[in-house]
Structure 1
Amino acid sequence: MTLLQIASLTKRFGALTALQDVSLATEAGTIHGLIGPNGSGKSTLMKCIVGDVEPTSGEILFEEKPISQQSTTERARRGIGVKFQITSVFETLSVYDNILLAAQSHARLATLALSRSRGALADEIDDLLDQFKLWERRDEQAADLSHGEQQWLEIAMALARRPRLLLLDEPTAGMSLPERAHTGALLRSLISSCAIVIVEHDLSFIRDISDRLTVLDRGRVVKSGTVGEVQDSSEVKEVYLTRV
């Protein structure tokens, strides 16, 4: 099933064309990597999908229904989750309460009003803490986590909202090699419940975890296909030899 379909998407900022006629599709149960040099339009494309930036033209379909006119909140309710590059957690709250607040976003109002959601969500939160190696730090303030651990916490918070599509912008930035390896294994384990679109500069990392890659350069799609097809593309090799 095609979960996300982008058709002829263009975004202009005045005289600057950030995206030009971009088309791609992401299937359910897959990881779709977006790569390309700095300034190629990757982050702009992610912001168009989540609703932070309005495209100039083109169409975005989620589960075969148009969402281009929907707000970021409406898209989140439809099942689109996002974690951007800059970590954004509640630093003065505990690790546990950060995930709890995210999980409560999909709890019923009556459950919240009667203060039942903390107990009802306990097992779900414990599973996420264990999955992201944060169990032993669950009672500590988020500010006390390492950068890599804060990245994990924010991904866990995004997952607590139960998305069907998760957008990740450079989730391994600043991580150690062991942290990157664990993150890659984690992301592969998630695709049974949600598809992932990921922007990442670490080519080895994104090659190893992705089912499909799309290469952008100067706002245009250079190549979209399997990892092998992209690696063998002469156009992609030229981009990375001349523009990176």
Structure 2
Amino acid sequence: MRFFWIVMALLGGGLILLIANHDSGRVLGLENATFAATLYLGLWGAVLLVGILGSGMRIGEAARSLAFWVFLLLALIAVYQYRYELQDVASRVTAGLIPGSPVSMVTSEGNARVMVERSANGHFEVIADVNGQALRMLIDTGASSIVLSDDDARRAGFDPSTLRFQIPVATANGTAMVARARAQEMSIGAISRSDVPVYIAQPGRLGQSLLGMSFINTLSGFELRGDRIVLQD
């Protein structure tokens, strides 16, 4: 208990110094925020140490318990400090397990970037969120617009019976008639757009939905890096 009160006195003195030197911005050569964080950690360290010593454990057992809690604290701090890097690793693992999963990153300027790996079939496919539904789409720079297949359109909440298929477009299977529509929300990873114009193909005329240039042109740029394509918001 004597040790505890000595530590409390030191922490109290540090708090008084912090308050007295608030306007100067530094205490004992440290910035106020750093000094305050040191006091905070010192308080928890003192409570933990007194709790271990007051439990009646032997010195060896107390040292092991203290080492465990110190290690746990450092591990939690490390996880917090590297949380964005760990999120990036988790996204890359997901992309490897689920082909087409977009890997989102944020630049130092705060802009979103999304990376997509080439699929086993040699094409770039991405899982896009359209009106809250995950749809696998082919990134096609040769297509001028976003075109949804009939199945994907139904999943995204479009009712084909209310659409007018009057616009002819050229596809790999020949000319098909499509209908105009608008998606309330469309996201690829961290890149999101609202009120997006799309075309919907007639049933059986389009095997896979296409992510065309009408979406890509809303980006600041995109680049091909070997087996990866990077979309930049």
TM-score using structure 1 length: 0.25
Higher RCO (C-alpha under 8 Å, 6+ residues apart) = 1
More strand by share: 2
TM-score using structure 2 length: 0.25
